[in-house]
Amino acid sequence: MDTSLKILVVEPDKSRACEIIDALKDGGWPDVFVIATSTTLERIMKQYNPDIVLIDLVNPDRDTLEHLSLVSSARSRPVAMFVDHSDEGMTQAAISAGLSAYVVNGLQKDRIKPVLETAIARFQMTAKMQSELNAAKQALTDRKTIDRAKGLLMRARKISEDEAYGLMRKTAMDQGRKVIEVASALVTAAELLQ
């Protein structure tokens, strides 16, 4: 467990804020910053740049949920939200907003650490899957660009697909570039010449 994590807590009730701070410190997370209202969340996010955000709300509405998710950058860091009441629509909105944890029936001191650990693990898993998805999309895009460049070379030079790829590969090696860079340049040049 990383004890150097910076945790931002949004909690309007002072006594609950103290309970949260105590629970986090007992859990090995001493770097905690608490704000009482979400109106300062955006400014504090920029100044404090927390690793995790913990939000405690009694009755969130969809607009508040989406705003807090956006301002807390829920897609770029784990965000755990504790609420006293919810419904199926709010749960779906929480998932859509990218929250790492959405806990109903309020915040309980003994649940904070395991919920945050789960939120961190879920966030890391989701981030890894997103990274892999982005890499797969980029590889597909690169493959299409390389295939298009091979087609251009095959038509222009009357050579086979293997020869076209070999020519791009040799050019890339000679110029200290990647094959995709050579292919992109070739496709761009062909588009300019049309």
| Helix, coil or strand: residue 80 | strand
**Of 88, 60, 87, 135, nearest in space to 79 by CA:** 60
Q: For the whole prediction, is pTM greater than 0.75?
A: no
Q: How far is CA 101 from each of CA 20, 81, 120, 178, rounded to the nearest angstrom? A: 16, 6, 9, 41
Of 79, 82, 42, which is closest to residue 59 (Cα–Cα)?
82
- Provide the 8-state DSSP code for 32: E
The string of pLDDT tens digits covering residues 165-180 is 999 999 999 999 999 9
Q: Per residue in 67-121, pLDDT tens?
A: 777 777 777 889 888 888 777 788 888 888 888 888 888 678 888 888 899 999 9
Domains and CATH numbers, the chain: 7-107 (3.40.50.2300), 133-193 (1.10.10.10)
| Segment 108-125, tens digit of pLDDT | 888 888 889 999 999 999
* Residue written as token pair 């509405």: 61
